[in-house]
Structures are given as structure tokens and as C-alpha cells.
Amino acid sequence: KAGVTQTPRYLIKTRGQQVTLSCSPISGHRSVSWYQQTPGQGLQFLFEYFSETQRNKGNFPGRFSGRQFSNSRSEMNVSTLELGDSALYLCASSLGQGDGTQPQHFGDGTRLSIL
């Protein structure tokens, strides 16, 4: 069974640009969550999508947005990039019952560097 696939693996952008990251969940998984990992802040929750709807959201500015398609694939967009957005962006998928009984499985992330 294929795991969570994130593309691209590496990305370099400059300040002010925007970027779109892609995540393909494990087959059958309906929930996709996004996390940001930085050396200073660790792993932080961005948002979660379930059945094409944002179900939960973390404490990030509106420049960070996402969406989910009918096949459960998800994209994350960051507009007006800042130096502080340099991070590893991780996607995780799960069956999505919402009660914690089923684990989230992570991809290997997209490493975004802002110059």
C-alpha cells in the first residue's frame, strides 16, 4: 500500500512569491492534515481537511490556506512568502473518524527555503 506522497520534495522561493504544495494521501484516507516544522517552533498544526471541507485550523495567518479535492488529494498554498516561512511542511492522512482511534500517517515533507 503506497504511503503519503508529497511533491515537490524541495523548493526554493524568494520573498513575496507564493507557493503551492501537494499531498496525495493513502488510498481510502479521507482526512489530510498539514504541519509546519521549524528548528525553533518544532512541529505545529496548520489545518485539517475532511471530505473537501476544512474541519480544523491552527494559529497561522491567512497567508496559509489549503484545499482538498474529491479524490482526497490536498494542496497547501502560502502567499506573500516571508523568510520565516522556511520550513519542512508535512502532510498526514488518516481515515478521519475524529476520535483518535486511527493514527495519522505522515509523508516525508516538502522542504521550502525562502531567499
Can you give the binding site for other proteins, defined by CB under 8 A?
4, 33, 35, 42-45, 48, 55-56, 58, 90, 92, 98-101, 103-109
72: number of Cβ within 10 Å: 22
Closest separation between CB of residue 88 and other proteins, Å? 8
97 alpha-carbon distance from chain centroid: 19
- Residue 13 vs 105, nearer CB to other proteins: 105
- Residue 43 vs 115, nearer CB to other proteins: 43
Distances (CA, A) of 17 to 3, 9, 94, 95: 30, 18, 31, 34
Distance CA 104, CA 96 (A): 8
- Residue 4 vs 81, nearer CB to other proteins: 4
Closest separation between CB of residue 51 and other proteins, Å? 13
